[in-house]
């Protein structure tokens, strides 16, 4: 029994360098990889100003509000409409794209 135990211990000692080498080989390519670059996403929040003329791109991304009473808004005059951007409501001229009124979301 002592001989068997001695053989197992000596085999473990002799096999240890091979096990360490195998572990380094497995994790070796990870050490030589290029560092991971994380991109920071910046969201630009536009502050709307009365009298600002909106571009066509800005108008395209806005949702028109047809049921303005649901949001407790007054009826828009002829030639204007309510649009919702994020949590703000804007009254915009249909033909010109000029903001005539701004209401912060509730």
Average pLDDT over residues 80-94: 89
Which of 15-19, 38-42, 65-69, 82-86 has the weakest average pLDDT?
15-19
DSSP, collapsed to helix, strand or coil, labels residue 37 as: coil
DSSP, collapsed to helix, strand or coil, labels residue 63 as: strand
Confidence bin at 28 (pLDDT 50/70/90): low
pLDDT recorded at residue 23: 53
Confidence bin at 21 (pLDDT 50/70/90): low
Residue from 86, 82, 88, 85 nearest 105 by CA:
88
Dist CA 53 CA 48 (whole Å): 10
pLDDT recorded at residue 4: 75
Residue from 32, 24, 61, 36 nearest 46 by CA:
61
pLDDT recorded at residue 98: 93
HSE value, Cβ hemisphere, 13 Å, CA-based, for 6: 3
Domain range summary for the chain, segments of one domain joined by +: 56-104
């Amino acid at each position: 029994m002592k001989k068997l135990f001695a053989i197992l211990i000596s085999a473990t000692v002799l096999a240890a360098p091979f096990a360490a080498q195998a572990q380094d080989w497995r994790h070796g390519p990870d050490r030589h990889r290029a560092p991971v670059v994380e991109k920071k996403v910046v969201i630009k929040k536009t502050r709307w100003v009365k009298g600002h003329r909106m571009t066509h791109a800005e108008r395209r991304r806005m949702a028109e509000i047809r049921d303005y009473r649901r949001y407790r808004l007054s009826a828009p005059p002829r030639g204007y409409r309510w649009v919702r951007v994020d949590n703000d409501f804007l009254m915009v001229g249909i033909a010109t794209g000029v903001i005539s009124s701004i209401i912060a979301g509730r």
